[in-house]
Structure 1
Amino acid sequence: MKCFFRNLIANNLHTCAVLFREVPRNLKGKKHSSQLWLTRQLQDPYVEKAKRENYRCRSAYKLLEINERFKILQPGHIVIDCGAAPGSWTQVAVKATNANAVQKDAGGIVIGIDKQPLYPIENATLLGGMDFTAAESQNELLKILNGKKADVILSDMAPNATGVRDLDHENIIQLAYSALRFALQITKGNGVFVCKLWDGGKSQQFEKDLIRFYKYVKCIRPEATRDESTEKFLVARGFKGIKSTSSSTT
């Protein structure tokens, strides 16, 4: 019984210490939006968890939940991570596909690309400072694939938000279609496409377009998504190919 109370007190003290540590400091002179961001970061349990588990960003837990639910990443898979910076989805993919050769299963291949610099991730090929939507960037990806097809295309791409909801929605839809067009070229039969969207009037049409090419399409809002965010993810599985459809996407 003494041990029980001792552990209870110790845990409560640890919790209090964490709470006190999470009080933001040095906010003087910062914009209100910056103050809100810092406060939110310090109070976000996924930020702390990502630090403990050595993920570069809290967004890792969105892909981890998607993979847990749909089993989209398997050992030996070839994965392309579009909008990879800072690299947390790439980290998840490296582990899940056995690109790090930790398991006895087949080893996967993981390629990440982003406009922003990408610091090295062991057992992943990274293309930092490259705009995925540019033809030369996609050609570089094709060179790396060297004729191989990908099992999974991930797109966590998002534009810089302007604060104008309709404009931001239009911009992310354009990125989503860019990723989809590329996926249609290089995805294996029964492959997977995962894409982030923000709520808006064109989301439904994009989902309908996915259904033309994939057997199963599911919309998911992972638990790690912040309450104030309008983001959602479309998980499209069972790539059917493009021969059966006569018209192209937007």
Structure 2
Amino acid sequence: MQTNLLSLQDILPLTCSRTGNCCFGKVIYLNPWELFHLAKEKKQTQREFRDSYTDFEGIRLKFDGKIGYKGQQACSQYVDNFGCDVHLGRPLACRLYPLGRQLQSKQIHYMYQGAEFPCLEPCPEVVDLEQMQVGEYLKGQKTDSFETAQDAYLEMMQNVADLAFELLLDTDLAALGDKKTLAQWRIIGNELPEIVVKRISEEWLDCLMIPDISDEDPIAFVSKHNNLILTKAQEKFGNIQKPQELHEASVLLMALALHLARGLGANPKELSELWIDIAKDNGAKE
């Protein structure tokens, strides 16, 4: 599919006609910061919101509402003749739509997919509304803190994966010729999310997706979450020495990293292959 890169000065038909057609048939992945804000706006606990309105223990918003545009189901938060029930807490993907965003080599790129601007088919009336610059649109959608949280979670994802590396490479596990661990990393990267969550205990899933943190600052929120994960991993795995225990811990932490990666919109298969190659370059075997 054609990708159209944008500058912040590009002018597009970004004024919303508020038909709600974009609230049908989408796939909206979530990070823990977004889950926190959705629950807050819904006036629920994070656990209540996660269990009621998300799939795969919190990483994807449910689209199980009424049938509407093109026979597709609405987002679980869409209210007929009203709109989004959690609009102020909506996730980054909803704030950006119809734009996409990619962080690559520390550079942020905005874009849209397809030969035609995505709004034109479902909402052709937008051509009669005021056009605006991409930067102006992003400012109006208040994306800043959500973009900050997204990028911070990408770093946390790598930190969790690094723990899996340490358990494999900085112990006797790889030195003893272990070949099971990388094989399991590859399997996890190819598994469906409903299978991956079965690998992870409820305790770890809760720690990953609904941490007991309520800081409004995205950097502080993710920093506290990162420290929570690292501390828990140290407590659980800091003193293990048996190869089987090291293997199981490495596989668990890699499953956590890849599950979080999916919620961040990353490709678990590509990531697992990248991390396997890095581990091999550092002496691991498969």
TM-score, normalising length from structure 1? 0.27
> Between Structure 1 and Structure 2, which shows a larger proportion of helix residues?
2
TM-score, normalising length from structure 2? 0.25
> Between Structure 1 and Structure 2, which shows a larger proportion of strand residues?
1
Structure showing greater relative contact order (alpha-carbon pairs closer than 8 Å, 6 or more residues apart): 2
